Chains A and B, each alone.
Chain A
Amino acid sequence: MAVPAAKMSQREPAPAPSDVTVTPVQSPRDRDAFVLFPYELYRDDPNFVPPLLMERKDFLDPRKNPWFQFGKAALFLARRGGQVVGRIAGVNDPRYNEFHGTRLGAFGMFECADDVRVARALFEAAATWCGAQGFGRMIGPMNFSTNYECSVLVEGFDAPPVVMMAYNPRYYPALYEACGFKKAKDLWAWELSSSVAPPEKVARIAEKVRQREGVVVRAVNMKDFESEVRRVKEIYNSAWEKNWGFVPMTDAEFDHMARELKQLVVPKLLLLAEVKGEPVAFSMTLPDANPALKAAGGRLTRFGLPIGLVKLLLAARRIKRLRLITLGIKEGYRRRGLDAILYLDTLKAARELGYTGGEISWTLEDNHLVNRAIESMGGRKYKTYRIYERAI
């Protein structure tokens, strides 16, 4: 358990961040250092999954990442004696604030050596930047919103992260709390094995609903990708509307995301539920590409040869796990058991395709309806992620 911030600061007078300097990322070299830092930090961590370097670079490139069409981010690097020891981004998401009617700053891309002084200096930089944007509080980590990777892993460090979930060293929660952060919300991840048969009762109810409501579940038609994306987008943005932390995606963001995921998806695991021909619910389950990414080691090529690419493709054929990443139901169709139908059909498809199990993530800790449903399906909560908040 981490020591609460208040106690910590009483015992330990804030040490001067003397030898740590935090500077904004300015040159292309700084930017490279920013992107490369995690590879160094996690060098000896067996659970770390190195992202593809190019993907990370594109993510931070305002010309390539559509989030930058409305959002602003300022990148900072912490150095000690010339060595990079941490990084952070100040995040200004005007769409979040517009949607929720808040004045909330954010931070993200936080990576830090195990040293409170470095963490403090980094958070100070982000806080100062957020302050200058006119915010009084900040929330995070958001990279750069809940539509992307976000939150800190606080429990369940023994398993590697699944695709597009955050991962971090064990000491991060303590760093946050020592720097005055309090929990804003917990996010949960659930483990599910496809060999466990769903309870008889659930299956029976689901079948009944299917009959009664005339629910038709079908896989997404990849040949008609663009119009399918449009249907899904509509469900997505209306399904999450009332959720904590949610920001609707812009068209550009959604298309970009769809494009990226297109490489990854198994069409049989993208399910649309229609009632009387109207698409009303959607679930997306992805193969957990992380073992393949890990095999590539961050690059598609080495010494000019497609070594990473080959390793990635080979490892991709051995993927055995899945992540159920979104399941959304339009307003007016909830509490009718549509979720159970989608779960069951996904499970069935997964078993047929030879997947052994996977993760359902993430769910909000207080979304009792969903959490209870997952539990009733045989899911086991195995990881907790946290989003923190503090005054600037």
Chain B
Amino acid sequence: MADIFDKCASWKDYKIAKATGLYPYFRAIQAIHGSTEVEIEGRRVVMAGSNNYLGLASDPRVKEAALSALKRFGTTCSGSRLLNGTLELHEELEARLARFLNREAAVVVSTGFQTNLAAMSALLGRHDVVFSDRANHASLVDGIRLSFGEERKYRHNDMENLESLLAAAKPNAGKLIASDGVFSMEGDLCNLPKIVELAQKYGARVLVDDAHGLGVLGAHGRGTSEYFGLEAQTDVVMGTFSKSFASLGGVLAGPFEVINYIKHKARPIIFSASITPASVASALEALEIVESEPQRRSRLLDIAEKMHNGFRAMGFDTGVSVTPVVPVLIGDQVKCFRFWKALFETGVFANPVIPPAVEPGHALIRTSYMATHTDEQLDRVLDAFERVGRKMGIIPHARPSTYVPVKVARPGSFVRANQASQRWAKTSAGLAAEQGFSLGQLTKLSSREMANKLFDAVETLTWRAANLQPEDLKRLSKTPLRLWERRGEIPGLLLEKGANLFIKNGKQPEA
């Protein structure tokens, strides 16, 4: 009889990654220094992987608001919004958000993830069809799974594909098009103008998950729909407080009846405790600042442009992004882990993203920025990438003579994706949501694959050795060889081999 725990015991990827020292997840932060720098394992590094876009998470005003709510209302509401868990503060936040987003109503939910679960599970009935971008966030995907509606996935931002699916659906079925506003891994925007046009043509509703857009895009920070001037045509907007809003929780805003229905029907809302008083107060204060300090947004977009172009000038590819989500393409996933490690050791924290979150061969380092990063810190990040990139042979040793600069999504510019890298978008649309994320990334890095990589390395070395001739040896002693320059990668490979042996013998190495 199978034991459901068997898969946990036989799951080796974690052990391998840990043994090779390449394991990048769950790194504990020991201290923060104004949130742009953090201490991990006793090392002080620049944080280039946070979603705290406006830098409000350590703003004294926000902290003060949280403290005073904590003092007034205690640490938690100990219950659901529906029953004992609603404070006036929750209602104030909902009213303020509805006004901010020009909507009839808004409901706040304990996390952004639950907000999407709530919206999808409550809205999609048995005969409804939802059209969902393949690169949508996991919470939308799971919300759809939780619902009784039928799902039709379209290729990332492929509007022809979307239209053909819309045209093929039953004309009298209820239809919803659901898309991220800003895609979280690759930093491009959805084609909202076309989505809205198709929605009108086929009688569908539109829901935009603007987790990364709210507070960042549009002249007033109202996100992707403001940026495109399509607020009235976007039926429901979803947002989260865990990014620009310096807190924890999510919001859904739209027509009163719709929000009211969801509020009473969605199990992720009804059966979960409400947002803590401190979190509500932080979000409220952050909203105040989002509205009153537009200079934070322009600073953030300046930074985004500086970083995109800084990376491109070195020969890196930042893909289709036009936002402060700046992915740096690495390619091979083991290389990506090694790159991540080297970056960390050079003083920069960023996030490695590997298949299945992206297409195989398109592993990337996802960087993201805060309005409060100083130029000096940003230069340090660029410098670290250049050094590591050259050492690992990802960028050339000399800077390319030209590059195509990135135009970021500033108010009025209407860019959606970086055209120079459209090709990349087509092949590597983030698949995170579809296939599960977190540690699942590592499962693709099976021990077999690792072993094959090692065997290939041995083959290469044997081939090179077999081809060495006296004159090569002579030359070797004169000029530094590329292999020598890249020696840093060899221990990594050997470590992988070592880790494998350990695991095969059932012994777990010490990490």
Contacts and interface: CB of A to CB of B under 8 A. Distances in A.
Nearest to B331: A28
Interface string A127-152: 00000000000000000000000000
Contacts of A62: none
Interface in A55-113: 55
Interface string B444-478: 00000001001100111011001101000000000
A300 B466 contact: yes
Given A259-B469, A262-B469, A304-B454, A299 B360 contact: no
B455 A54 contact: no
Contact of B455 (A26, A29, A302, A309): A302
Interface string B395-424: 000000000000000000000000000010
A131 to B, nearest CB: 22
Contacts of B34: none
A262 B361 CA distance: 37
A27 B332 CA distance: 10
Contacts of B332: 28
Contacts of A263: 466-467
Nearest to A304: B458
B458 A29 contact: no
A54 B460 contact: yes
B463 A54 contact: yes
A27 B460 CA distance: 19
* Chain A interface size range: 10 to 19
Given A28-B331, A28-B361, A29-B361, A300 B459 contact: yes
B213 to A, nearest CB: 30
A26 B426 CA distance: 13
A306 interface: yes
A376 interface: no
A27 B463 CA distance: 23
Contacts of B451: 303
Contacts, number: 37
Contacts of A302: 455
Contacts of A54: 459-460, 463
Contacts of B467: 263
Contacts of A28: 331-332, 361
A28 B331 CA distance: 9
A219 interface: no
Nearest to B482: A63
A301 interface: yes
A53 interface: yes
A52 interface: yes
Contacts of B469: 259, 262
Contacts of B463: 52, 54-55, 300
Contacts of A304: 454-455, 458, 497
Contact of B462 (A27, A259, A300, A303): A300
Nearest to A260: B467
A27 B454 CA distance: 20
B485 to A, nearest CB: 14
B361 A301 contact: no
B371 to A, nearest CB: 35
Contact of A309 (B361, B454, B460, B462): B462
Interface string B217-237: 000000000000000000000
B455 A301 contact: yes
A259 B463 CA distance: 14
A309 B331 contact: no
28 contacts: A27-B331, A27-B361, A28-B331, A28-B361, A52-B463, A53-B459, A54-B459, A54-B460, A54-B463, A55-B463, A299-B459, A300-B459, A300-B462, A300-B463, A300-B466, A301-B455, A301-B458, A301-B459, A301-B462, A302-B455, A303-B455, A304-B454, A304-B455, A304-B458, A304-B497, A306-B462, A309-B462, A309-B466
A-B pairs with the 9 shortest C-beta distances?
A54-B463, A304-B458, A29-B361, A300-B462, A301-B459, A304-B455, A301-B458, A301-B462, A27-B361
Given A26-B423, A52-B463, A259-B469, 11 more contacts: A27-B361, A28-B332, A29-B360, A53-B459, A54-B460, A55-B463, A263-B467, A299-B459, A300-B459, A300-B463, A304-B455
